[in-house]
Structure 1
Amino acid sequence: MTPETARIVHRSTGRLRLRLPQRRHDLPFFLSLYESLRAQPEIDEVSINPATASVLIWLDPAREDALAGALTRSGLAPLEDHQLHPEHAERHLFHVSVNDMRIVVFLIMTTLSIHQLLKGQLLAPALTMLLYVVDLAVGMRMERDAAAGHEHQPAPTGPTGNI
């Protein structure tokens, strides 16, 4: 069996996100991959999303050196994004992360909420924007905690759970 090429699109301590665009919407493949990855002792948790061809893996940071072997045993050939397209390796120097964009959206939404409150638009527009602000703040906090290495407790998702 030929290993599937999986792009490593994000890596942080204890966390790895892979993309397999060639398998997008291939539910049987992702279910099989989910079971195979969950059987690896180095891997703590796995979340798959066949619609986006994404696999999110959580593992003990102390065992990250054994991750390559676990992925190979599961039938994956992980490649860094710059290995697939070396001519684009420099683009990562100026990459804007999702967290950066969330902070910008958070600040804009907070400003718009205050603006609507000052105009007397208390119910619909201000309340909606404040709810978006709270949602963004909770998401940013969860990602910051995960990136800082706090023990993660992913939402209970089955093998077809969203990422």
Structure 2
Amino acid sequence: MTDAEIQPSAFIKHRLPGRVRLKIPQKRGDVNYFNRLEELFSDFLGINELKLNPSTASILISHENAVPFQDIAEFAKTKNLFNLVEEAEDHDETVPNLYIKALALAGFDRFDKALLDYSKGRLDARSFVFLSLIGLAIHQAARGNVLAPASTFLVYAFQLLDVKDINQIEYEQKADSEGE
């Protein structure tokens, strides 16, 4: 049996009529897996809304009451997405198996989206950090610390303009794993 045929275990975290939250601890941080879930569940009639969170390994499914959740679980099993279990199995609750740089950029990406939402699209995280570093550099220069802290903040600010985004890091990670 290949890795692709092994189904992860999912358990029900909470359930209300027409709404179920599942956890799949083995797939924590696996963005590709959750993208596949979203793609396959988009074809399932009866699901009104699907919210996926790879960082917490959770799926929130809002479905029509006429569609029993067991049908959704059976669909997932036949598509090799997950196998529904009664209770949570003991799983290692560690950080997902990702490069530290990818994890840091994923956090930065979440901060970026939250800042964009809060500022109604006027300010992204990279601009926020850039402006903060420029402000710190001006503050240090005004205090007479031109060579050490002020210049360092300026260097960091301008290096930030050269940082790759999360999509580039994920692409490089995938290319590295395919090359092994």
TM-score range, shorter chain: 0.3 to 0.5
Relative contact order (C-alpha < 8 Å, sep 6+): which is higher? 1
TM-score of the two chains, using structure 2 as the length reference: 0.42
TM-score of the two chains, using structure 1 as the length reference: 0.47
Which structure has the greater CA radius of gyration? Answer: 2
